[in-house]
Structure 1
Amino acid sequence: MSRVSDFSLTNVAAGPDPFTLSELDDDVAFVVLFFQRDHYCTNCRSQVQDLADRIEAFHERDAEVVSIVPEPGDRVEEWQSRYELPYPLLADPDASVGDDYDQPVRFGILGAFSDFFGRMPAAVIVDRRGDEPVVAATHRGRSTFDRPDIDELLAELDELRSA
């Protein structure tokens, strides 16, 4: 398990704005960070809606869902006005938090030049129960379709809770 990089980003949905990982309430044992590909990604848009539909299952496990989009706040606000997400939706315009958490980038120099061509989805479970938060599990997508199933993530949270 690796240590967690703290961050503070603009939040356009539920929760505090700005959203700062270290300032979450103590009763949040886990944070599930979903690093989205970009504003235009239809798979990302489906995922955030699916997460909204299952938010109570995460909350029952003392987990907070957070989606991070490597776009400016105004673009991310479009998602919120359209989907009314009940969890934090963060703008990471320079993709610095995605970089800190090793969000995969493909297509070499072209991918490094443009997130549209290269940034892949990722999911990271942060365990906040110890003295210092740690990364407890990570899924790094190899394509825009390569995302963990919500039931798999909930099972992973159940496993972490019982350990």
Structure 2
Amino acid sequence: MSVEIGMQAPDFELEANNGEIVQLAKFRGSNIVLYFYPKDMTPGCTTEACDFRDQIQQFTDLNAIVLGVSPDPVPRHQKFVEKYGLPFLLLADTDHHVAESYGVWKLKKNFGKEYMGIERSTFIIDKEGNLAKEWGKVQVKGHVEDSLTYIRENLS
């Protein structure tokens, strides 16, 4: 399954780095930046997380909540949050069920090796829970600014 612009975003429940169970539907009334990334503590993922961290006040000012999702387990997420002072929740999709429902669990190739993993992707979900914007194969540089601009110009 994958999602389409204008469709209701697939709801889910995942455990967050702080141990709480997060349900997407509980954030109705706020815009949501749901970003999927491959792995905590890796260079690209760290840069992306820190870029979101550095712009969090601008997202907050736009009534937008940032949620990061990867297949890493909760303890690894918590170490990542503590090491980089991340002010948003990281969700543990250890069975990649949510990644599959959003169409971002894909065959990847690296140094000639094929494996399944997360394709770095971001979804903007509006206050009613509908998918408003999607970026696949995200390039980290400039992506957080693109997300802010989209929300500012289309959802605020």
- Scaled to the shorter chain, the TM-score interval is 0.7 to 0.9
1:151 partner letter: E
* 1:24–1:107 CA distance, 2 compared to 1 (3 A): closer
Following superposition, the deviation at residue 159 of structure 1 comes to: 2.1
Provide Cα deviations, 1:108-157, integer angstroms capped at 9, x if missing partner.
Answer: 79323xx3xxx32100000123xxx1110000117xxx246222111110
Report 1:39-78 matches (<5 A): 39-78=40-79
> Which residue does 1:19 correspond to in 2?
22
> Which residue does 1:4 correspond to in 2?
9
* 1:47–1:107 CA distance, 2 compared to 1 (3 A): closer
Give the number of the structure whose residues are more often helix, by fraction.
1
RMSD across aligned C-alpha pairs, in angstroms? 2.1
Preserved contact between residue 7 and residue 131 of structure 2 (Cα < 8 Å): yes
> Which residue does 1:99 correspond to in 2?
100
Q: Does 1:154 align with 2:148?
A: yes
Q: Does 1:141 align with 2:137?
A: yes
**Which secondary structure does the structure 1 equivalent of 2:124 belong to?**
strand
1:99 partner letter: E
Segments of structure 1 that go 5 or more residues without pairing to the other structure are none
Preserved contact between residue 104 and residue 141 of structure 1 (Cα < 8 Å): no
Preserved contact between residue 77 and residue 90 of structure 2 (Cα < 8 Å): yes
1:136 partner letter: A
Segments of structure 2 that go 5 or more residues without pairing to the other structure are 1-5
Preserved contact between residue 32 and residue 63 of structure 1 (Cα < 8 Å): yes
Give the number of the structure whose residues are more often strand, by fraction.
2
Preserved contact between residue 14 and residue 22 of structure 2 (Cα < 8 Å): yes
What is the TM-score with the length of structure 2 in the denominator? 0.84
Preserved contact between residue 126 and residue 137 of structure 1 (Cα < 8 Å): yes
Q: How many Å separate the matches in 1 of 2:108 and 2:155?
A: 37
1:95 partner letter: H
Higher RCO structure (Cα 8 Å, ≥6 apart): 2
